[in-house]
Amino acid sequence: MISDDNLYTLAQSLGLAAMLLIVLYHFLEINAKDGAKTTPLSAERKADAVPGKAR
């Protein structure tokens, strides 16, 4: 059976790993290069998303 100390260490380790992965994801997302091939929406579809009065 797993002891309380082992469970505490496991929870701390998994929590730390999750936070590091979240920070890494946000770092990579912020520094990603924007290009026409990397964005799922084309320029025409982005223009369609703008409300009529804003055009």
pLDDT digits (tens, 9 = 90+) for 1-55: 999 999 999 999 999 999 999 999 999 999 988 765 555 556 666 666 666 665 5
Residue with tokens 């009065």: 53
**Rounded distance between C-alpha atoms, residue 22 and residue 35, angstroms:** 24
Tokens matching residue 7: 């469970």
pTM, two decimals, is: 0.56
How far out from the chain centre does Cα 1 lie?
A: 36
